[in-house]
Amino acid sequence: MILGIAGSPRQGGNTELLLDQALAGARSAGADTEKIVLSKLQIQGCTHCEGCLETGRCVIRDDMDLLYMKFREMEALFIAAPIYFLGLPSQLKAVIDRCEAFWVLKNKLNQAVSLTGKKRPGVFISVAGAPDKTEIFNPARRIIRAFFSTIDVVYTAELFFPETELKGQIREHPTALMDAYTLGARIARSL
Ligand SMILES: Cc1cc2nc3c(=O)[nH]c(=O)nc-3n(C[C@H](O)[C@H](O)[C@H](O)COP(=O)(O)O)c2cc1C
């Protein structure tokens, strides 16, 4: 199963449109896909309570439980989220921080996060309102790379579109939606 995470609080926005295309492309190549829209879930941030230190399991019970399971089962991961103040939307950052429990599982308890035993490709799809003159995607890319490595995902591809501010504006881009579709199909074929 390929898991797609819609990380923007703006439902039906640019990154979600791109994610839908990537997942459709993956399905066209025969993959099963699941999409999770973070803004429909209630996920608290990490409190650094150290409750996961002995077990690699978070003590907070909320909708993150669904994601903990999916992150272990999935064969590939597509994350789509816009740039917010050079970083990621807080809804997605909360998910990433809650994966501190997986960091403990992997690095302190020497256990794999992945249940598949196979290399799991990861894709990061993002947009930003500003032009890319300031390398606007770099900080978020670094966060996603660290996140992927913690959950046994290999950072395999990225799709970035600057100068995309208004809801749905990505539809006007000459290739973006097709780029996402093609990438989704390519990742699915590689599994
Ligand atoms: C809180 C907030 C912070 C943002 N920060 C940035 C930013 O630092 N740089 C930028 O280029 N665009 C920024 N944007 C613009 C969004 O990246 C842009 O509107 C994007 O298209 C939203 O994607 P979505 O439709 O998938 O939600 C910000 C938007 C919001 C709401």
Q: What is the CATH number of the domain that holds 46?
A: 3.40.50.360
Q: Are 120 and 74 in contact (CB under 8 A)?
A: yes
pLDDT of residue 132: 81
- Residue nearest (by alpha carbon) to ligand 1 atom 6: 84
Using alpha carbons, select from 93, 183, 72 the residue that is nearest to residue 144: 93
Q: Whose CA is nearest to atom 29 of ligand 1?
A: 84
- Residues 6+ away with beta carbon under 8 Å from 52: 58, 59, 100, 101, 104
Q: Are 18 and 180 in contact (CB under 8 A)?
A: yes
Closest CA to 76 of 29, 112, 21, 32: 32
Query: Which pLDDT belongs to residue 134?
Result: 74
| Distance from the alpha carbon of residue 78 to the mean position of ligand 1, in angstroms | 19
By CB atoms closer than 10 A (0-12, 13-18, 19+), residue 27 is middle
Domain count, the chain: 1
pLDDT at residue 19, as a whole number: 99
**Tens digits of per-residue pLDDT, 62-107?**
999 999 999 999 999 999 999 999 999 999 999 999 999 999 999 9
What local confidence, expressed as pLDDT, does residue 5 receive? 98
- Shortest CA distance to 83 belongs to which of 36, 39, 23, 124? 124
Q: Give me the domain span that covers residue 110.
A: 2-190
Q: In the prediction, which pLDDT does 96 show?
A: 98
**Residues of the chain below pLDDT 70:** none
